[in-house]
Chain A
Amino acid sequence: MRTAAIALVFALLAAPAIAEPAAAPDQPLSSPTQEARAQRLFQDIRCVVCQHESIADSPAGIAADMRRLVREEIASGATDESIREDLVRRWGDYILFKPPVKAATWLLWFGPLALVLLVGGVFIARSRRQRPDAAPLSPDEERRLNDLLRGGEVRPDPDATSSHD
C-alpha cells in the first residue's frame, strides 16, 4: 500500500521534471555518413534556452526540435555551410559555438597566436640584449646562491648536465 502511494506521488510529481537528461531518443538518419555529419553539427550549435550546452548535450525539448530540424535539412541535401547560415539568419551568431571570423572577432581568433609571437619575441629580444653585458653576481650573492643550492644535502649528480630541477 505504502509503495503504491509512493509510486502514485512519484508519477504525479515526475511530470514537471527539470534537466531531464534521457529524453525520448532521436530518430537517427538512415545514412551513417549523414548521421555523422549531423552529430558533428550538433556539437557546434547552442541550445537557445540552455545555459552553456550544445544541442548535442542538451536534454531540452527545443534542442530535440533543433536536432530534428538539422537532420531534416541534411536529409534534404543541404550543406553544412547552408545549415549554419540558416541558423545564423534565424538566431544570430549567438547560435554557433564557433564564432564567425570577422573584424569584431579578430582579437578573439588571432589573439592567442599574436600573444605567442609577442611574448616569444620579447623573450628573444631580451636574451639577445642581455648576452653581452649581464652583470655578474657579486661575490656575496655568489656565496649565498651556492649556500642555497647546496642546502638540504643535494647529492652531486654524476652527470652534471641533468641535475635535478
Chain B
Amino acid sequence: MISEFGAYALILALALAVLQTVMSALGRIRRSPVLAGAAQGAAIASACAVALAFAALIFAFVTSDFSVANVANNSHTDKPMLYKVAGAWGSHEGSLVLWCLVMTGFGAALARASGLPFGLKTSAVGVQGALGSLFLAFAVLTSNPFARLDPAPFQGASLNPLLQDPALAFHPPLLYAGYVGFSVTFSLAVAALIEGRVDPAWGRWVRPWALASWVLLTIGITLGSFWAYYELGWGGWWFWDPVENASFMPWLAGAALLHSAVVTERRGALAGWTVFLALLAFTFSMLGAFLVRSGVLTSVHAFAVDPERGLMLLGILGVTAGAAFALFAWRAPKLTGGGLFAPVSREGALVLNNLFLTAAAATVLLGTLYPLILQAATGATISVGPPYFALTFTPLMVVAFLILPAGPLLGWKRGDLKGVGQRLAVAAGLSLVCALLGWMAFEPHKAMAAGGIAIGAWLILGALAEVAERVRLFRVPLAEVGRRARALPLGAWGMTLAHAGLGLFVLGAVVETGFKVEAAAPLGLDGSVTAGRYSVRLDDVRIVEGPNYLAEQGHLTVTPTDGGPERTVIAERRFFPAGGQTTTEVGLDFRGLDDVYVVLGERRSTPQAARAWTVRVYWNPWARLIFLGPLVMAIGGVLSLLDRRLRIGVAGRKKAAESAA
C-alpha cells in the first residue's frame, strides 16, 4: 500500500514538474507574477512529492517488503539497519529517485530564493522544472522503483557486500547532491541566455550554487576514494576508472566555474565563458549518469545496466545539453564583454586557471570516451589508464599549480608581477628546501617525487604567504595583525584553506605514490612480515559471526622497526552467505600521517605451518593527507559559502533597506 502510494507520489511529482515548467514559461511570457508564483509553488510541491516517494521507498527497505522487486533484489532481513536504509539508493531505480529528490529539492530552494529579478528567476525555475520533468519521466517510465513481485520471495538477494560500508552508505547522497546541484547553475545559465543578460549580479547569484555543489561533490568523491582505499584491499585510492572519471569531470568543470564566476561577479568580465562552464558542469554530471547506468563502460562501480535505459539517458543528455549549447551559440555573442584587464592581472590568472582546469576536464573526457569512440569507429580496442593520465593530466595540473599562488596576490585589472615575485620569494625558497629535505628523508631518492613535494609545499606556503600579505605579518605590530586577520572576510579564509588543502592533497598523493612499500608473506601464528618501517605479526585468527556474515578475524600487532608503541589491528575476511561473496576488511593502523595497511588473505598450508594466512602489508607514508586535503578544501568552500556577502538575498535586502531609507 505504502509502495503504491510512493509510485503515485512519483507520478504526481512528474505532473507538478511539468506544470512548473509550463506555468513558468507562460508566466515569463505574460510577465505574470501570479503564474510565476504558482510555478514556484509547483516546484516546492514537486520536491515534497518526491520526498514522499523516497520516504515510501526507504520504508519498503526498512520493513523488508520483498513484494517490491527493488527491495527483493537489493535487501535482506539480516542486513544492519544502516544498510537497509542505504539500500534504498544502492540500486539503479532507487538512486534515480534520489537523483530526482536532489534535483527537485534544489529546484524548490531556487523557487524560494529571494533577490533574483523576475525574468531570470521565472526562467530558471522553468528550466529547472523541465530538467526535473525529464528525469522524473525517465524514472516513472523506465525505472519504477516500486514495481511489485508476485509471488513475493521470502528472502531478498541482499546488497552487494562491498557496498555495505559506512563510507559508501553516505557516498551516493553526497555525490548526487553535488552532481545535481549543478542543475541549478545550468538552469540559471540557460535563464541568463534566455534573458540575454549576464551581469555581475548574475555571477553573484550563480556562485553560491556552484560552490555548494562543488563542496558536496568534493566530499562525495573523497568518501568514495576512501572507500576504494580501505574496502577493495588493493591499497590504491584512485584508479582512473571510467566511473571515477565520470565524477571527476563535473568536479573539474565546477572548480573552473567557481573561479570564473568570481571574475564575472567582481569585474563583469568572462560572462560568456562563465555561462559556458555553468552549462558544462551539469552536462558532465548527466554524461556521468549516462556512462554509469548505460553499460557502455565496464567498471567496478557500474550499476546493473540496461541498454534501453542508456538510450533514454543519452536522449535526455542530447536534448538538454544540445538545446542549451545551441542557445549558447546563438545568444552568447551578444553578451557584453565587461571589464577590461591586462594579461598580467587577477583576471588573467583566473583565465589561466580556467584554461588548465577545462583542459584537464577535456583530458579526462578524452581518456574516458576515446576507447569507446575508437572501438565504435574502427573496431580497434585500446585501454586508457593511469600511464596516459600521468603524461597528459598531470603536466597540465603541474603548470596550473605553479601559477596558482601568484593569482590571489595579483591585483585586479593590472597586476604587478615583480611585486608578486618578491612576496612569494620566501615561499618559493622554502618549497625548494622542502623538496631537498624530502629527497634526503625518503629512500630511495626520487627526483620526480621531490619535485612533487616542492609543488605541494609551494601551494601551502603560497596560500600562507597570501594571508601574511593581507594581514601585513611582520610589518605592522602584532595587535594590528590580529585586527586585520579578524577583519578578513570569511571568503578570503575559505580561499586560503581550499588552496592549502589542495597542497596537502598533492603532498599526500606524491609521497604515498612515490614511497609506499608493500610486502606479503604466508604467515603462521606468531609469524611476521616487514614493510618499510613497520613489522606486522599475526597473533591470532578467530572465527566471528557478524549480523549477516561470517568472518575470519585476524588480530595483528604492528611494531615500528625503529622502536615505538606497538598497536593491534584487526583485519577480516568476511563471507556473506546471502550472495555467496567474500570481502576483505582492511586493518588500518594510523601512525601520524602514515597508514599501516594490513590485508588478511586466504588460509593456506605452508611447509612451516599447517595453519597459515597470506598477509599483505602496505606502508603508505602520508596517506592521511590524500583524504584530509580534499576535506580541508571542502571546509574552505563552506567558509566561503558562509561569507555573508555571498548569501542569496543580501543584494535584495540591501536594496530594500536603501529604498526604505
**Which residues of chain A in 22-81 are interfacial with respect to chain B, using CB atoms and an 8 Å cutoff?**
22-26, 43-44, 46, 51-54, 57, 59
What A residues does B119 contact at CB under 8 A?
Answer: none
CA distance A17 to B602 in the complex (A): 9
CB distance from A130 to the nearest CB of B (A): 5
The answer to whether A164 and B359 touch (CB under 8 A), given A97-B387, A98-B388, A152-B654, is: no
- For residue A116, which residue of chain B has the nearest CB? B359
Indicate if A139 sits at the interface (CB-CB under 8 A).
no
Interface centre among A22, A126, A154 (most CB of B within 10 A): A22
Indicate if B645 sits at the interface (CB-CB under 8 A).
yes
| A interface list, Cβ under 8 A from B | 3, 6-7, 9-10, 13-14, 16-26, 43-44, 46, 51-54, 57, 59, 92-100, 104-105, 107-109, 111-112, 115-116, 119-120, 123-124, 126-127, 130-131, 134-135, 137, 141, 144-145, 147-155, 160-165
Beyond A10-B575, A23-B602, A97-B387, 19 additional contacts (C-beta under 8 Å) are A6-B550, A9-B577, A14-B573, A21-B232, A22-B599, A22-B600, A25-B614, A43-B387, A98-B391, A99-B370, A112-B359, A115-B358, A119-B355, A123-B355, A134-B340, A137-B268, A147-B655, A152-B650, A165-B491
Q: How many chain B residues touch the partner (CB < 8 A)?
A: 97
- Chain B residues touching A, majority SS: mixed
Which stretch from B173-181, B233-241, B247-255 is at the chain A interface? B233-241
- Asked whether, in the complex, the Cβ of A149 is within 8 Å of the Cβ of B200, the reply is yes
The answer to whether A52 and B374 touch (CB under 8 A), given A21-B601, A94-B381, is: no
CB distance from B80 to the nearest CB of A (A): 19
Count of A-B contacts with CB under 8 A?
224
- Asked whether, in the complex, the Cβ of B204 is within 8 Å of the Cβ of A93, the reply is no
What B residues does A141 contact at CB under 8 A?
Answer: 199
- Asked whether, in the complex, the Cβ of A21 is within 8 Å of the Cβ of B580, the reply is no
- For residue B234, which residue of chain A has the nearest CB? A57
What A residues does B645 contact at CB under 8 A?
Answer: 151-154
What A residues does B351 contact at CB under 8 A?
Answer: 123
What B residues does A14 contact at CB under 8 A?
Answer: 552, 573, 575, 582, 602-603
- Asked whether, in the complex, the Cβ of B356 is within 8 Å of the Cβ of A20, the reply is no
CB distance from A146 to the nearest CB of B (A): 10
- Asked whether, in the complex, the Cβ of B550 is within 8 Å of the Cβ of A10, the reply is yes
CB distance from A160 to the nearest CB of B (A): 8
What A residues does B408 contact at CB under 8 A?
Answer: 162, 165
- Asked whether, in the complex, the Cβ of B387 is within 8 Å of the Cβ of A18, the reply is no
Indicate if B380 sits at the interface (CB-CB under 8 A).
yes
A-B contact pairs, 26 of them (CB 8 A): A6-B545, A7-B543, A13-B575, A13-B580, A14-B575, A14-B582, A21-B234, A21-B601, A22-B233, A24-B614, A25-B614, A51-B299, A51-B300, A52-B300, A94-B383, A98-B385, A105-B374, A112-B366, A116-B356, A127-B341, A148-B204, A149-B200, A160-B411, A162-B408, A162-B409, A165-B266
